[in-house]
Amino acid sequence: MIRYIIRRILQAIPLLFIISLMIFFLLRSSGDPIAMMGGRRATRPEDRERLTRLLGLDQPLYKQYITWLIGNDWSLVDIDGDGIPETPGTRKGALRGDFGNSLVKRGVPAMDLILERLPNTLLLMIPAEIIILLISLAVGIYSALKQYSLVDQVVTAGSFIGYSMPIFFIALASMYIFAVNFRKWGLPYLPTIGMFDPKVGKTFSQVALHMVLPIFSMSVISISGYSRYIRSEMLEVISQDYIRTAHAKGLTERMVLIGHALKNAAIPFVTILAIDIPFLLGGAVVTESIFAWPGMGRLFIDHLGRSDTPVVMGILMMISVAVVFSQIIVDIVYAWLDPRIRYS
Amino acid sequence: MKTTIPKTKQYGVEDIESPPLSISQLVWLRFRRHKMALVGVVLLILLILFSTVGALFRTEAYGNITDTSIRLQAPSPEHPFGTDTVGRDLLTRTIYGGQISLMIGLTAVIIQIVVGVLIGAIAGYYGGWIDSLLMRFTEAVFNVPTLPLLLVLSKMLSDKIPTIELFGREFSGSVIVITGVIGLTSWMGLARLVRANFLSLKEQEFVTAARSIGAKNSSIIFSHILPNTIAPIIVSSTLGVAGAIINEAYVSFLGVGVMPPTATWGNMLNGAYKYIETAPWTWIFPGTLIVLTVLSINFVGDGLRDALDPRALVETE
């Protein structure tokens, strides 16, 4: 098992290397970071040249990549443009947690900007993930046990519709119903924008109230997909011989359900988490920009619009690392849960 | 799909003498049982009619007329879907936007099929280092979340291609960019599926037979193995059309997709959340059309999955 874990981690290294190469070359060939530096245009040719050298953009691409990856603080760089390197480099490189400085907010490390927003994104993602797991398990199991009942059919139809909706439509429709129309009808309505009402301040209840609609919008699609999945998993498990044996032994329905059926149906469920993390992170871009939630997704779209390559690259890399490692964890948990799987 | 089966005829034991059904007849028989898939087909036909026949009544230029004096008007007989923030007629824009959205969906899937099948087939057939190289690459693309990657690629390329003229209509170059970008970021699932099928099929006897009579590798791949794995490709690419339409909507919704004046259902929604209260018609109509399209394609895909399942085919026989 330990050998398996080590092997998986070793396999992740070349994978992340390929990903970083891919993203780096994509982003470096996009736009002109100097033209967009915080909206202040560097028009004079000598300014452009100086900025190009300052950002290291005069170097060949492969050198830029090496600087991005491992930094240049042990060598000298040529800033004044006379061809002789004289200034010590300051970059530490992505491996040491330095994605370079943001171009829009000058002098602020991209990493700091991202880390400042990360907790807000997690504040939406973790509760959303828990809600997705609980509701889709409950719905999936219920409709499997009551197969072809009215509830099952309603759930199946509903999940089909939910699964076909883009996040922004759910978000817009839920805002329209629960915020706009509830207020019109004189009902208690939900806030739609930001993390808290500036008049009240950042209190726990304010933030919790502002979380309701974004989390709802994020979870509908996933719940629709996974409850169908759990339903079919559960149906397959129920028809197995060992369930009949459990019934024959005289176990209560509850014992059979929880002790035998659910335990086996839940194993593939772990993989769902791995599929869901990139999906939720991608969806965060949409959800956060609609609900003006100050998270990583919103940071991404704001800074992408202004060609702030270090921040965009940093966010993409962090998401990819999260995805790769969550997959490793899921594979390990899977191996631990299911004794039929043996890795040699 | 052929519909040559006489409708009243029931196939049972007494019909044992009748000629065996062809594959397409069997598929149609099974597909027909799927009520929701039929609903999906009908809905899809209606949506296609909406954006093609509708175009006969209103010209695209009419949908691009801006008149701020009638901005954000509620639906009325003159503008059945209302008007947008610069006074353009929303009905006309949903008609022409639908053409673009559907076209992007279909074309992106063609790209997806070409790339996915090629990579999957080559990796699965040749195996060895080619397989590990291609699969590492596939895994790498797979691990970058699609939406952020799409946004980066669209942002970076959207102004690189100039406006082009095709069939007497002007298309913003961004249409081509978005189509290509969606196709190139969604082939990974298909590649894995094709590879898995190739891995098992290449060990079968018909492949050995083909090789022993001296068939070339390319002919074994494309005319011997590929036709045997066509069913999952059809299902996956049908669902892929829905995915591509949703992806286009996401990217255009966030303002880096297809650029105006060319309308798509997605870019009509760009900025709509500012008018969520004052002008709900600006997002309800295009949004509902996206949901209906995706829903009906998903229904059809689900029906096809059941109809094309080889185990199911045997049952019907």
In A, which residues are within 8 Å of B273 by CB distance?
168, 171-172, 175, 290
Cβ proximity of A195 and A202 under 8 Å: yes
Which A positions 40-99 lie with beta carbon below 8 A of chain B? Answer: none
Q: Are residues A304 and B144, on separate chains, in Cβ contact within 8 Å?
A: no
Contact partners, residue B277, CB within 8 Å, separation at least 6: A176, A180
Average pLDDT over residues A246-269: 80
Is residue B202 predicted with pLDDT exceeding 50? yes
Query: Parallel, antiparallel, or unpaired for β B169-171 and B164-166?
Result: antiparallel
Pairwise CA distance, residues A5 & B143, whole Å: 19
pTM across the whole model: 0.85
Contact assignment for A283 to B147 by CB distance below 8 Å: yes
Residue A140: its H or E element: helix A110-145
**Which chain A residue has the Cα nearest residue B278?**
A180
CB A225 within 8 A of CB A203: no
A101: helix, strand or coil: strand
Q: What residues have CB less than 8 Å from B189, skipping those under 6 apart?
A: B116, B236
Q: Does B165 touch chain A (CB under 8 A)?
A: no
Give B63 or B151, the one with higher predicted confidence: B151
Structure-block tokens of residue A228: 């169908």
* Strand ranges (E), chain A: 76-77, 87-88
Residue A281: partners with Cβ closer than 8 Å, 6 or more residues away: A121, A125, A297, A319, A322, A323, B145, B148
Lowest mean pLDDT among A291-305, B96-110, B118-132: A291-305
Dihedral angle sign, alpha carbons of residues A10, A15, A20, A25:
positive
Is A76 in a helix, a strand, or coil? Answer: strand
pLDDT at B16: 56
Residue type, B76: S
Q: Which of A251-260, B117-126, B287-296 is predicted with the least confidence, judged by mean pLDDT?
A: A251-260
Q: CB distance from B159 to chain A under 8 Å?
A: no
Task: Write down the number of H helices and E strands in chain B.
Answer: 13, 2
- B261 upstream amide cis, omega within 30 of 0: yes
How many C-beta atoms surround the C-beta of residue B162 within 10 A? 7
Select the residue from B134, B276, B306 to test the A interface by mutation, using most A Cβ atoms within 10 A: B276
* Mean pLDDT of the region A17-35: 78
Report yes or no for ipTM above 0.90.
no
By Cβ distance, the residue of B144, B155, B269 closest to A30 is B155
What is the number of CB-based contacts under 8 A between chain A and chain B? Answer: 129
pLDDT value at residue A106: 74
Q: At what angle do helices A296-305 and A110-145 cross, to 10 degrees?
A: 130
Task: Tell me whether residues A19 and B294 touch, CB distance under 8 A.
Answer: no
A161/B287 Cβ within 8 A: no
pLDDT of residue B317: 39
Q: Which amino acid is at A193?
A: I
What is the residue-averaged pLDDT of chain B?
A: 83
Q: Considering only the beta carbons, identify the residue of B253, B276, B298 that sits closest to A164.
A: B298
Q: Which residues contact A67 (CB under 8 A, 6 or more apart)?
A: A56, A59, A89, A91, A93
Euclidean distance between CA atoms A160 and A171, whole angstroms = 18
CB contact under 8 A, A166 and B246: yes
Taking the CB of residue A167, how many other CB atoms lie within 10 A of it? Answer: 26
Q: How far is CA B34 from CA A152, B301, B304, in A?
A: 17, 11, 9
Which of A97-111, B179-193, B195-209, B292-306 has the least mean pLDDT?
A97-111
Please, which pLDDT band fits residue A43 given cuts at 50, 70 and 90?
Answer: low
User: In 3-state terms, what secondary structure has residue B165?
Assistant: strand
- Tokens standing for residue B88: 């353009």
Task: Give B170's strand partners.
Answer: B165
CB contact under 8 A, B146 and A278: yes
Q: Which of A169-173, A276-280, B230-234, B240-244 is predicted most confidently?
A: B240-244
A180 vs B contacts (CB less than 8 Å): 276-277, 280
What pLDDT score does A38 carry? 46
* Nearest chain A residue to B287, by CA: A169
* pLDDT one-digit tens code per residue, A122-152: 888 889 988 988 898 888 888 888 888 888 8
**DSSP symbol at A149:** S
Percent of chain B whose predicted confidence (pLDDT) is above 90? 24
Cβ contact (<8 Å) for B136 and A15?
yes
pLDDT band (50, 70, 90) for residue B17:
low
Q: Measured between CA atoms, how close is A80 to chain B, in angstroms?
A: 30
Mean pLDDT of B69-75: 74
Q: Is the pLDDT of residue B205 over 60?
A: yes
| Angstrom distance (rounded) from CA A314 to CA B152 | 13
pLDDT tens per residue across span A166-207: 888 888 888 888 888 888 887 777 777 777 777 777 777 888
C-alpha to C-alpha distance for A128 and A192, rounded to whole angstroms: 17
Q: Report the distance separating Cα A318 and Cα A306, nearest Å.
A: 20
- Once rounded to an integer, what is the mean pLDDT over residues A323-339? 81
Q: In the predicted model, what is the mean pLDDT of chain A?
A: 81
Which DSSP state fits B267? G
Interface residue A282 vs chain B (CB under 8 A): yes
Distance CA A47, CA B212 (A): 69
Q: What is the pLDDT of residue B44?
A: 92
E strands present in chain B: 164-166, 169-171
User: Counting every residue, how long is chain B?
Assistant: 317
pLDDT of amino acid B13: 54
Shortest distance between the Cα of A222 and any Cα of chain B, in A, equals: 15
Is the confidence at residue B142, as pLDDT, over 90? no
Report d(CA B148, CA A121) in Å as an integer: 15
pLDDT tops 80 at residue A303: yes
Residues 6+ apart with CB under 8 A from B8: none
In this complex, do A327 and B143 lie within 8 Å of one another by their Cβ atoms?
A: yes
Flag whether residue B77 sits within 8 Å of chain A, measured between CB atoms: no
Q: 10 Å Cβ neighbour count for A198?
A: 9
Q: How far is B102 from chain A (nearest CA, A)?
A: 15
Alpha-carbon gap, residue A269 to A339, rounded angstroms: 16
Q: Closest residue of B to A279, CA-based? A: B145
A283 close contact with B: CB closer than 8 A = yes
B298 touches chain A (CB under 8 A): yes
- CB of B234 less than 8 A from some CB of A: no
Q: From the CA of A173, how many Å to the nearest CA of chain B?
A: 8
Say yes or no: A175 contacts chain B, CB-CB below 8 A. Answer: yes
Q: By three-state DSSP, how is residue A119 classified? A: helix
Which one-letter DSSP state was computed for residue A99?
A: -
Distances (CA, A) of B308 to A274, A307, B66, B114, B149: 29, 47, 49, 21, 33
pLDDT of amino acid B43? 92
